[in-house]
């Protein structure tokens, strides 16, 4: 016969007992408590066995974790949001897609007019800070040393010298230096507004296609296109899959710390970084990129610096502003091309359940957690560029927000 010995459960916060105690007894002696007699049979019916208790606890634990985690990672197309296609009538979705495709086709079918962007920048008060900025670091041109990365290269002189020594062509490639040709650029942002746009084939028709960080291409060609002329990255955001570098002409490094230059040198020369160096990256970095040394460049920090200065005019708080790679890519495109279009730009913070990125189901409210970038200032800046006609918003989110 099994007996119960000092069975007691206490509240972990205040130590008060939650269940009655059972005193050890050699024989099943009934206990008189007022007019109710409690026996061991009653206790066995009241308490769960040890195995039953363990099973119940596991079920409860799994249920709690599921209640917390499933909503955060639930596929977005099954979550009721205002911006999802499945929540809109099919004819309205088709109409929206046709509007985007007609706008893009009309733009591409028109003549390419030299200096279009520069001519339409002039009315903007910030135009002076957006002109004649060097795009890539070159050996024969000095770099601003009085600012530390990412807005300068102060303190990174030795790291830069080694990186430039490994680059056969550190400046502009011949295809971008040609005189007399009119070039069209498209900066493909990572925004969820690109999802379902069907703009991929039109994006591939541009002369220069700029992509950001590890935004995927394979599997998303219908909306995002398949070609990449320039992919702006920093080490922690470089794609790890070789497929992402197919149909890629160039990778441009954005320097946020001196170690980023060491990483670039390692990738180009195929000499691995030391274990100690890798420890200083905030996430695992790729060791190999399947491109030739001629395909790498270093983005000039003046692009980041000037973009931050322009954004400061739109910011509510004064201070040293670090722009996103998206805003920096737009400023870079203004230096390279006569016509600049944007696709996948415009965070819709008024709808926290909207898709944040075109390639995953993380929702818009995730942007609230970041404190590095001022996306509101960037939105105002891009809106002004669109309103002035300096750039074209293919996916329409910036124009919609102008009306908001």
Provide the residue ranges of all domains of the chain, joining segments of one domain with +: 1-45, 48-78, 85-402
Question: How far is the C-alpha of 39 from the C-alpha of 33, rounded, in Å?
Answer: 11
Burial state string for 347-378 with b = 16 or more CB within 10 A and e = fewer than 16: bbbeeebbbbbbbebebbeeeeeeeebbbebb
**What backbone phi and psi angles, to 5 degrees, belong to 56?**
-65, -40
Q: pTM surpassing 0.85? A: no
Place of tokens 């102060």: 154
Which residue in 109, 157, 116 sits closest to 137, CA to CA?
Answer: 157
So what's the pLDDT on residue 404?
33
Specify whether the CB–CB gap between 346 and 401 falls below 8 A: yes
Which residue(s) pair with 22 in the sheet? 7
Low-confidence ranges of the chain (pLDDT < 50): 1-27, 29-34, 40, 43, 46-47, 65, 67-86, 369, 401-404
Fold of 85-402: sialyltransferase cstii, chain A (3.90.1480)
Asked if 208 contacts 339 with a C-beta cutoff of 8 angstroms, the reply is no
Give residue-wise pLDDT tens across range 342-356.
999 986 655 555 788
Number of H helices, E strands in the chain: 14, 9
Give the contacts of 293 (CB within 8 A, at least 6 positions apart): 166, 167, 168, 268
Q: What is the pLDDT of residue 398?
A: 86
Contact 136, 170 (CB under 8 A): yes
Q: Rounded to the nearest 5 degrees, what angle is found at the Cα of 198, between the Cα atoms of 193 and 203?
A: 90
How does pLDDT run across 207-221, given as a tens digit for each residue? Answer: 999 999 999 999 999
pLDDT at 386: 95
């Amino acid at each position: 016969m099994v007996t119960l010995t000092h069975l007691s459960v206490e509240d972990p916060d205040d130590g008060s007992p939650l269940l009655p105690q059972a005193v050890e007894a050699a024989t099943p002696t009934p206990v008189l408590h007022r007019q109710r007699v409690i026996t061991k049979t009653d206790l066995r019916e009241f308490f769960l066995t040890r195995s039953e208790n363990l099973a119940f606890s596991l079920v409860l634990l799994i249920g709690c974790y599921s209640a917390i985690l499933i909503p955060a990672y639930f596929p977005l197309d099954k979550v009721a949001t205002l911006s999802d296609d499945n929540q809109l009538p099919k004819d309205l979705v088709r109409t929206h897609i046709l509007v985007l495709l007609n706008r893009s086709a009309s733009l591409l079918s028109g003549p390419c007019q030299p200096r279009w962007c520069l001519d339409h920048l002039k009315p903007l008060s910030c135009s002076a800070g957006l002109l004649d900025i060097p795009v890539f670091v070159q050996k024969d041109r000095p770099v601003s040393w009085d600012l530390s990365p990412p807005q300068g290269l102060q303190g990174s002189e030795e790291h830069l010298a080694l990186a430039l020594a490994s680059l056969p062509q550190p400046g502009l490639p011949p295809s971008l230096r040609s005189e007399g040709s009119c070039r069209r650029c498209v900066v493909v942002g990572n925004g969820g507004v690109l999802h379902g746009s069907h703009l991929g084939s039109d994006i591939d028709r541009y002369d220069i296609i700029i992509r950001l960080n590890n935004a995927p291409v394979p599997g998303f060609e219908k909306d995002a296109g398949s070609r990449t002329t320039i992919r702006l990255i920093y080490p922690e955001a470089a794609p790890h899959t070789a497929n992402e570098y197919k149909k890629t002409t160039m990778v441009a490094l954005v320097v946020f710390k001196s170690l980023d230059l060491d990483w670039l040198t390692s990738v180009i020369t195929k000499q691995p970084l030391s274990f100690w160096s890798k420890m200083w990256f905030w996430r695992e970095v790729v060791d190999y990129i399947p491109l030739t040394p001629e395909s790498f460049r270093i983005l000039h920090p003046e692009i980041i610096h000037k973009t931050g200065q322009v954004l400061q005019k739109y910011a509510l708080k004064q201070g040293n502003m670090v722009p996103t790679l998206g805003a920096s890519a737009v400023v870079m495109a203004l230096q390279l091309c006569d016509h600049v279009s944007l696709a996948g730009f415009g965070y819709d913070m008024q709808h926290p359940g909207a898709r944040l990125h075109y390639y995953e189901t993380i929702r818009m409210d995730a942007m609230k957690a970041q404190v590095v970038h001022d996306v509101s200032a960037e939105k105002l800046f891009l809106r002004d560029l669109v309103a002035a006609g300096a750039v074209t918003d293919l996916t329409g989110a910036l124009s919609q927000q102008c009306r908001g």
